[in-house]
Chain A
């Protein structure tokens, strides 16, 4: 147990060192990710301004409008929180990296050495995220500070704890889904199209594009999928959305999320053990 913890620590340390090698590229890549946040804030501003103008034309009071019960401020708060959740749950390069390793034979090191490939990739990803947070915490804090008035209330400690739990579990779900897509490369070698489809659904069904409670009846079906934990749920917890308040359904949501993690973990294990049986290790 202790030996395994030490191995994981050294994997994490080595991955961290590797992440810091190309620091300029990494810093640029991280900072560039903030540009869409800024443009999205302006976009929602334009949408709400348009809606308010339309409302002024059609109703006498001309009050600032809400869209699907979200005020402009609430919408921005939702979007920023969804982006915070995505900082945990998005896994750039994970599935495509596994597929590349399978195609070019790099995967051999996981199969011939006494290491667990998924465990190794997990710690590699933790390192990736830690370096990301190291660089991104400042800009994130700045944006949240500038938009502080948009948040309806400060969450109490218990809600904050639930938020942290949902972010960590969101990370696990994101990791397990993308790893599973990557493992499909043992069958098809190339998963880029599959990954593209997943990204598309993920953007829509995780609540990254719009809040899931805007989807009406479709949203009821989305409730049963694991994607909502990747962006919507952490935001809904902070905003106190129906069903995501402690004592009013949040506990069972988190329990279902944990069950998803267990299920995806089993699926990953099965896919790996079947995949390596199929593995042809082509090309020398």
Chain B
């Protein structure tokens, strides 16, 4: 049985459409125009137990709304979801004890108190046995290297340290499902890497199901094998992460280093030169033209080094979303 099973799930928000200007604001007191925003528009997917799946998409694509639906935070407009054998929006305690929702931009720890006070409160709320609680605290604080910080008021911690504490609070009751919404947002590179390493290790050790949204493709590449891409409330791709670049990127990148110290003046003829650091350059070339372009470059110039690479995942995604947006406007 899958850990998450979603069928035709939809959430439509009715939002007030405010026109610009003071007069429009006054008019809005008497007559308001509303429009329906289909934040999630009839999506279907399944996640098996122990899977770690990335949920990707641009801002406003419907990622966070989906997580909110799966955590029972909001009610759907239509459709069904079964998560760990429960309907999330019924908010049964039996379900709420089995998952955790961590939102990178929302704090659930007591701001003015040390994190250990929040942990103790979680111990009671989730009815965690004392021995298990002590063991979990030791294990998690050690893994995240924050053992010495649990007695410090949360407000005095750095953003990275706070996120680590949020993760500890979320994992204390050993949830079967972890919903992570931008867990590394705003963190520096070192903290990002630490959180990524921790999540990877923890998921593999505990075999919990994780659904992750992130704008940092590094998070996704390090952590997930599978990605669901959502845009404008609809699923655009559901499959191995590796397929995304093949499927959505129409281009490859040729990185070339010429002999001498200059770049050839005619280089633009071979593709889109998007990076120039003489004598090196990077050229964006349509996938089908790669063999031909390589031959021409090698025939026409003295080349010291050359390589062909797929475009980074981030760029492939950006290309997909830009194409989607322009298709919509046409």
Contact residue among B64, B71, B107 (Cβ-Cβ distance under 8 Å from A112): B71
CB <8 Å contact, B73 and A112:
yes
Q: Point out which of A106, A112, A281 has the most chain B C-beta atoms below 10 A from its C-beta.
A: A112
Q: Which of B103, B105, B121 contacts A14 (CB 8 A)?
A: B121
Contact B73 A108 (CB under 8 A): yes
Chain B nearest Cβ from A190, distance in angstroms: 13
CA of A3 to CA of B123, assembled, Å: 11
Q: Which residues of A contact B97 (CB under 8 A)?
A: 114
**A17 close to chain B: CB less than 8 A:** yes
Q: Taking the complex as formed, is B72 at the interface, i.e. its CB lies under 8 A from any CB of chain A? A: yes
In contact, B121 and A11 (Cβ under 8 angstroms): yes
- B103-126 interface with A by 8 A CB criterion: 103, 105-108, 110, 112-113, 117-118, 120-121, 123-126
Q: Are B124 and A6 in contact (CB under 8 A)?
A: yes
Interface residue? A130 (CB, 8 A) = no
User: Which residues of chain B in 121-135 are interfacial with respect to chain A, using CB atoms and an 8 Å cutoff?
Assistant: 121, 123-127
Report the nearest B residue to A116, measured CB to CB: B93
Other-chain contact of B73, A10, A115, A281 (Cβ < 8 Å): A281
A7 beta carbon closer than 8 Å to chain B: yes
A22 within 8 A of B: yes
CB distance from B327 to the nearest CB of A (A): 26
- Nearest residue, chain B, Cβ from A278: B75
Q: Which of B93, B96, B110, B121 contacts A10 (CB 8 A)?
A: B121
Q: How far is the CA of A108 from the CA of B120 in the complex (A)?
A: 19
Chain A positions within 8 Å of B236 at CB level? none
Contacts of B126 in A (CB 8 A): 113-114
Task: Assess the A3–B120 pair: CB atoms within 8 A.
Answer: no
Contacts of A282 in B (CB 8 A): 13
Are B13 and A10 neighbours in the complex by a CB distance under 8 Å? no
Closest CB-CB distance, B14 to chain A, in whole Å? 9
Residues on B with C-beta less than 8 A from A113 are 96, 125-126
User: Quick check: is A280 within 8 A (CB to CB) of the other chain?
Assistant: yes
Question: CB < 8 Å: which of B68, B101, B110, B127 contacts A3?
Answer: B127
Given A109-B108, A112-B71, A280-B74, check contact A18 B125 (CB 8 Å): no
List residues of chain B with CB within 8 A of the CB of A112.
71-73, 96, 99-101
A17 lies within 8 A of B113 (CB): yes
What's the Cα separation between A7 and B72 when bound, in Å?
23
Does A277 contact B103, Cβ atoms closer than 8 Å? no
Residues of B within 8 A of A10 (CB): 120-121, 123-124
Contact, CB under 8 Å: A14 / B117: yes
Once bound together, how far apart are the Cα atoms of A216 and B72, in whole Å? 52
Q: Which of B75, B96, B125 contacts A277 (CB 8 A)?
A: B75
**A132 close to B (CB within 8 Å):** no
Proximity bits, A1-20, B CB within 8 Å = 1, else 0: 00100110011001001100
A-B contacts at CB below 8 angstroms, number: 70
When chains A and B are docked, how far (Å) is the Cα of A108 from the Cα of B99? 14
**Contact A18 B112, beta carbon cutoff 8 Å:** yes
Q: Are B110 and A281 in contact (CB under 8 A)?
A: no
For B125, the chain A residues whose CB sits under 8 A away are: 7, 113-115
Q: Which residues of chain B are within 8 angstroms of A114 by Cβ–Cβ distance?
A: 93, 96-97, 125-126
A279 touches B (CB below 8 Å): yes
In the complex with contacts A10-B124, A11-B121, A284-B105, A111-B64 CB distance below 8 A: no
Write out the residue numbers on chain A whose beta carbons fall within 8 Å of the beta carbon of B112. Answer: 18, 21-22
Give the complex CA separation of A194 and B113 in angstroms. 32
- The answer to whether A106 touches B68 (Cβ under 8 A) is no
**Minimum C-beta distance from B254 to chain A (A):** 39
A109 partner residues in chain B, CB cutoff 8 A: 108
What are the interface flags for B62-81 relative to A under an 8 Å C-beta threshold, 1 for contact and 0 otherwise?
Answer: 00100010011111000000
Q: Is there a chain B Cβ closer than 8 Å to A105's Cβ?
A: yes
When the two chains form their complex, are residues B117 and A108 in contact, meaning their CB atoms are under 8 A apart? no
Residue B91 lies at the interface, judged by CB distance under 8 Å to chain A? yes
Contacts of B120 in A (CB 8 A): 10, 14
Closest beta carbon of chain B to A231's beta carbon, Å: 32
What's the nearest-Cβ distance from chain B to residue A237, in Å? 38
Tell me the smallest distance from the CB of B62 to a CB of chain A, in Å. 12
Assess whether A280 is in contact with B13, with CB atoms less than 8 Å apart: yes
B-facing residues in A78-120 (Cβ within 8 Å) = 105-106, 108-109, 111-115
- Residues of chain A within 8 A (CB-CB) of B99 are 112
- Determine if A14 and B101 form an interchain contact, defined as CB atoms under 8 angstroms apart: no
- When distances are taken between beta carbons in the complex, the residues of chain A under 8 Å from B93 are 114
| Chain A residue nearest in CB terms to B153 | A21
Q: How far is the CA of A115 from the CA of B125 in the complex (A)?
A: 7
Task: Report chain A residues within 8 Å CB of B75.
Answer: 277
B64 proximity list for chain A (CB < 8 A): 284
Nearest chain B CB to A93 CB, angstrom units: 15
What 5 A-B pairs come out closest when comparing CB atoms?
A114-B93, A114-B96, A7-B124, A10-B124, A21-B112
20 CB contacts below 8 A, A to B, read A6-B124, A7-B124, A10-B124, A11-B124, A21-B153, A105-B106, A106-B107, A108-B103, A108-B108, A111-B73, A111-B91, A112-B73, A112-B100, A113-B125, A114-B97, A280-B74, A281-B74, A282-B13, A284-B64, A284-B103
Given A14-B117, A281-B74; 14 other pairs, CB 8 A cutoff = A7-B125, A10-B120, A10-B121, A10-B124, A17-B113, A18-B110, A21-B113, A108-B106, A111-B91, A113-B96, A114-B97, A282-B13, A284-B105, A284-B181
